[in-house]
Each structure stands twice: as structure tokens, then as C-alpha cells.
């Protein structure tokens, strides 16, 4: 180890490097979730892979850095480590889509599918950052190995806390992924240049300037793109998800975490662009006198707007993401009124706190790879039941396959709802066995309605829309002996969703008359800039 007089003359640059490496490593770990999720989802398996890869890479960096620190540690080498990390961050910003696509081609089980991508994108830079702490401990002005190590790791931990809180609560809600990546890259470059300022060689400085230009160029190039869903009108990172609005012709589409969620025909806003929203009207054939409706989940607010405009009803919407509400007002003609009220809160919290009862509750907060488990359990179903009138109906817009291995989540949810409600009905929307919107309707009525009963009511009742085709998609009750009842204490939603990872999610589109026109097929979390959806496939 260097002598105390030598160390005393050094500026505290290595300790600053430790703090910055902590900020960057934890900030990149939080950011990794947003980069990986559009391709692989944000399940517990994805986050487990991210955490494991970062810990493994840091551990390897600590180990190798400790072996080399005594003979190699210097301010100059610390600067090169930070510049090398920054250069790799530039690669991640610019080529993340390409790297994700390459990694996703590996034939792995769904729960491990994200592991190669996380390793490829974030393993190398995190490994390099692992060298910083043992190098800094060797160069520290603090006397004694134990004191130096403790000080260095304390500074690194404080940096990690700053990186975690700053990225989570400030950067992601305010900036895009590329911008945040550019910021971390430039922070590493500036710190590296500051460390290299007293070295005799000019190479670190020149390299640092080149890397800074590379990072800025990557940010500019990575922030521009057009998806097959059309030109991007708006894109942001919310506290809950990645949000994007695209438009192709007259059809404007809302994507959440890379998956199509809502669509509107700007030339005919009353048209049901996605066929599954027509099914929202099925409960009007199952009950009488619908006066109050609650939607849990807003998205593009297609359903709430239709009900508020077409029927003499009062509509409440519980939407947890404030950015979704603002986007719907800016791009999807959402206007609040006495008949349409929007509440920025979670659905379960809203039901727990309200003293109102409803004739119809529509659950529209599920996504293919991210399901809020608190809205799936038998305890939640009982809460919803308590907030329904005696003849009230619960409608759940699930995303699942109607049969086969990828149907586990739907069948578990059916079994769970069946614990609380007298009758539960199933209506798949795509006419295939693919992953799709599967509509599950639950009632308190002891008498079960047949397809003929529903068709008769469709003819007799004037609900402003013919549901003949939708009624014909009715399926008999599924097998449920191999799936659990979901409970607050045990709701293995992630494992139930696992068979759907990497499979296409088919959204049925309609023409102006409501007839199925084509399908939009999106893979689980397709990257947002260039592969949001696959081209429309004619039926």
C-alpha cells in the first residue's frame, strides 16, 4: 500500500469517484427496469434478473479490483474506468433495441428470458464500476486499511441511496430513458476528467471529450424514432410505466410499456377501434337500470367516454397514473363533467374509501405482463361485491389465452371470481387460441343466462350497439382444478403469467360497422422506438 505521506498529498478524488460510481450503479439499475420491461415485461423474474446481474457484476469487479489495486491503483486508472463505463453507457443508449433483440432470440424458458439481455446491457459497465471502490480504498487518505475500506464503502452506499431516490422520484418522472442515460454517462465523464486533471498525459482528457460527444450523439440518435404504430406524437416515462402515443392515419394509439392499450379514430371518436371495448356493453344485457358505473383503470378512456356520452349514467374512473390522465385529456378527448369524474387513485383504495355503490364495475387495469395482484384476489372481489348493488355486475378485461398453458392466469381469475359471485361468464375476443383480451363477467344472479337469452335481450333492448357477434364468443366454464384461488396472502400472478412471456398479444380491430377488420399483434413488451407492434395481419 502507498505510504501515508504519499496518500496525504493526494486530493480526495478517489472518494468522489466512489460516490459517483454508487450514484451511477444504482441509477442504472433502476433505469434497467425501464429499458428491459418493454421487451420482457416487468415481472418479478425480470427484476430478480436485474438485481442478480448487478450484484454479480459488482462482486466480480470488487474481487478483481481488490487483486489489482495495490499495484495498479491510481487516479489515472480510476479515470479510465469511469470513461470506459461512460462509453458503454453510450452504447446502451444508442443500441439498446438491437442488443435486446439479439438477446431475446436465445431459446430460454420465459422466466429466464430477460437474463441474457440484462447481462449484455448492464453486466460490463457494472463490472467496471466494481473496480472503483477497491482502487479508491488503496488511494484513500484515511489511515488504516479498515478505516479506508469503511469510509469508501460508506461513500459508495450513500451514492447508491442518492442514485436510487434521485432516479426513482425525480429523473424517471421528469425525463426520458435516453436523457437519463446521457446524464449518467456525462456524470461519469466529468468525474473521470476531474480525476485526470493532474495527470501528465493528455490522453484521458482527449478521450473524455470524445466519449462525451459519443454520449450526446447517442442520446440524440436514440431519442428519435417511428414505430410501425405510426409517428410518435408523445412519449414519456411515468412513475408506473413507459407511455407512448402514436398515430397512423386517423387512428391514434396509446401504448403502455410497449403494448397497445387504447385507440381512437380521430375522424370518428365514437368508433370502437379495438373490438374488446364493445364487450364493455355486455353487462347492460345482464342487469337492469344501470345508473352508476365505475371503471378501474382509464388508459385512453374509451369505455368511460362511451358510457358517459351514450347513456344516462354517472361514470367514475379510478386511474392511479396521473400522466395517463393528462395524456388522455391532451390526445384522446377526455373531458371531465358531472357525468364523468376521474379520480387519481388506485382502484382498491378507491373502493375501500368510497361509500357509493355501483350497478357496474369494469376492471380495465390489467396488462399482459404487469398485473396489479391486489386487484385479482378473492379479498378484492369481495370488496367489489360489497360496492355493487344487489343486481350489480363485475366486468374484468383480462389479457390471457382462453385455453392451453398460457390460460393459467385467466382460469385462476375465473376460479377466484367464482368464489364470490353466483355466475361467471367468459367471452374471448380474438376468435383464436392466442393471447388476447378475455372478458370475464360476474353477476349475483342465481339464474344462469344462456347464449339464446343474451341474443334475445340484445334484440329487445335498445343499448345503442348490437352485440350479436360478441355474444357468440361465449365459452363454457374452463377447467380450474390445476390453478389456485388468488388471495392477498398468496397470489402467484407472476408465475401464472410466465407461460405468456414472449408470445404474441393479439388485439382485434374493427371497421366502422364494428365488424372485425384485422388484428394487431404485439409481442410481450416490444421495444418502443422501432418495434412497438408487428404489421397488421389480415384475418
Full-prediction pTM beyond 0.85? no
Q: Tell me, what DSSP letter sits at residue 168?
A: I
**What is 4-224's CATH topology?**
Growth Hormone; Chain: A; (1.20.1250)
With H, G, I as helix, E, B as strand and everything else as coil, classify residue 350.
Answer: helix
- Evaluate if residue 15 carries a pLDDT over 80: yes
Q: Give the residue from 337, 302, 298, 335 showing the smallest Cα distance to 320.
A: 298
- List where CATH 3.40.50.150 sits in the chain: 270-498
Indicate the range of 322-331, 394-403, 450-459, 509-518 predicted with least confidence: 509-518
Indicate the range of 119-133, 162-176, 181-195, 363-377 predicted with least confidence: 363-377
Per the document, the length of the chain is 539
Query: Does residue 505 or residue 23 have the better pLDDT?
Result: 23
Place of cell 442520446: 219
Q: For residue 176, what is its C-alpha cell?
A: 426520458
Work out the angle between the directed axes of helices 145-166 and 13-40 (0-180°, nearest 10): 40
pLDDT tens digits along 338-362: 999 999 999 999 999 999 999 999 9
CA distance 387 to 364: 17
Give me the residues paired with residue 519 across strands. 508, 537
Question: Per-residue confidence at 538, pLDDT binned at 50, 70, 90?
Answer: very low
pLDDT tens digits along 53-89: 999 999 999 999 999 998 889 989 999 999 999 999 9
Q: Tell me, what DSSP letter sits at residue 529?
A: T
Question: Per-residue confidence at 42, pLDDT binned at 50, 70, 90?
Answer: confident
To the nearest whole number, what is the mean pLDDT of the chain? Answer: 87
CA distance 295 to 320: 12
pLDDT tens digits along 382-423: 999 999 999 999 999 999 999 999 999 999 999 999 999 999
**What is 270-498's CATH topology?**
Rossmann fold (3.40.50)
Q: Tell me, what DSSP letter sits at residue 223?
A: T
Question: 240 and 372 in contact (C-beta within 8 Å)?
Answer: no
pLDDT at 523: 45
- Evaluate if residue 539 carries a pLDDT over 50: no
- List where CATH 1.20.1250 sits in the chain: 4-224
Amino acid at each position: 500500500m502507498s505510504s501515508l505521506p504519499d496518500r496525504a498529498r493526494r486530493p480526495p478524488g478517489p472518494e468522489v469517484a466512489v460516490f459517483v460510481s454508487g450514484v451511477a450503479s444504482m441509477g442504472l439499475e433502476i433505469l434497467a427496469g425501464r429499458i428491459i420491461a418493454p421487451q420482457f415485461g416487468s415481472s418479478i423474474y425480470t427484476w430478480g434478473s436485474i438485481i442478480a446481474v448487478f450484484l454479480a457484476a459488482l462482486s466480480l469487479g470488487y474481487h478483481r479490483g481488490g487483486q489489482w489495486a495495490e499495484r495498479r491503483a491510481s487516479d489515472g486508472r480510476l479515470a479510465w474506468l469511469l470513461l470506459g463505463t461512460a462509453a458503454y453507457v453510450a452504447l446502451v443508449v444508442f443500441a439498446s433495441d438491437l442488443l435486446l433483440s439479439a438477446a431475446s432470440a436465445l431459446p430460454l424458458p420465459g422466466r429466464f428470458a430477460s437474463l441474457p439481455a440484462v447481462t449484455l446491457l448492464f453486466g460490463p459497465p457494472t463490472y467496471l464500476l466494481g473496480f472503483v471502490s477497491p482502487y479508491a480504498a488503496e488511494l484513500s487518505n484515511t489511515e488504516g486499511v479498515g478505516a479506508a475500506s469503511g469510509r469508501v464503502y460508506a461513500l459508495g452506499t450513500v451514492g447508491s441511496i442518492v442514485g436510487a431516490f434521485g432516479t426513482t422520484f425525480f429523473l424517471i418522472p421528469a425525463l426520458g430513458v435516453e436523457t437519463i442515460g446521457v446524464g449518467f454517462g456525462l456524470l461519469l465523464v466529468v468525474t473521470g476528467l476531474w480525476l485526470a486533471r493532474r495527470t501528465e498525459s493528455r490522453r484521458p482528457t482527449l478521450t473524455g471529450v470524445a466519449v462525451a460527444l459519443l454520449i450526446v450523439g447517442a442520446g440524440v440518435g436514440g431519442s428519435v424514432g417511428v414505430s410501425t404504430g405510426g409517428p410518435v406524437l408523445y412519449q414519456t416515462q411515468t412513475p408506473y410505466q413507459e407511455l407512448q402515443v402514436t398515430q397512423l392515419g386517423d387512428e391514434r394509439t396509446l401504448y403502455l410499456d410497449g403494448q397497445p392499450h387504447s385507440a381512437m379514430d380521430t375522424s370518428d371518436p365514437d368508433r370502437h377501434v379495438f373490438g374488446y371495448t364493445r364487450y364493455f356493453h355486455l353487462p347492460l344485457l345482464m342487469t337492469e337500470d344501470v345508473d352508476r358505473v365505475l371503471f378501474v383503470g382509464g388508459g385512453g378512456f374509451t369505455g368511460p367516454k362511451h358510457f358517459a356520452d351514450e347513456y344516462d349514467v354517472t361514470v367514475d374512473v379510478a386511474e392511479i397514473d396521473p400522466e395517463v390522465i393528462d395524456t388522455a385529456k391532451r390526445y384522446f378527448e377526455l373531458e371531465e363533467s358531472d357525468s364523468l369524474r376521474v379520480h387519481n387513485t388506485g382502484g382498491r383504495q378507491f373502493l375501500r374509501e368510497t361509500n357509493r355503490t355501483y350497478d357496474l364495475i369494469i376492471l380495465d387495469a390489467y396488462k399482459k405482463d404487469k398485473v396489479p395482484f391486489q386487484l385479482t384476489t378473492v379479498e378484492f372481489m369481495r370488496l367489489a361485491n360489497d360496492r355493487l348493488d344487489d343486481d350489480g355486475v363485475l366486468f374484468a378485461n383480462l389479457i390471457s389465452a382462453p385455453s392451453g398453458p398460457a390460460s393459467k392466469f385467466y382460469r385462476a381469475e375465473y376460479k377466484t371470481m367464482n368464489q364470490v359471485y353466483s355466475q361467471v361468464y367468459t367471452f374471448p375476443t380474438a376468435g383464436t387460441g392466442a393471447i388476447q383480451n378475455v372478458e370475464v363477467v360476474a353477476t349475483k344472479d342465481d339464474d344462469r343466462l344462456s347464449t339464446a337469452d343474451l341474443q334475445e335481450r340484445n334484440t329487445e333492448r335498445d343499448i345503442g350497439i348490437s352485440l350479436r357477434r360478441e355474444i357468440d364468443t361465449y365459452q363454457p366454464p374452463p377447467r380450474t382444478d390445476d390453478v389456485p384461488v388468488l388471495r392477498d396472502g398468496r397470489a402467484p400472478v407472476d408465475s401464472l403469467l410466465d407461460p405468456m412471456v414472449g408470445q404474441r398479444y393479439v388485439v382485434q380491430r374493427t371497421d366502422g360497422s364494428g365488424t372485425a377488420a384485422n388484428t394487431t399483434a404485439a409481442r410481450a413488451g416490444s421495444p418502443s422506438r422501432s418495434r412497438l407492434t408487428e404489421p397488421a395481419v389480415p384475418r
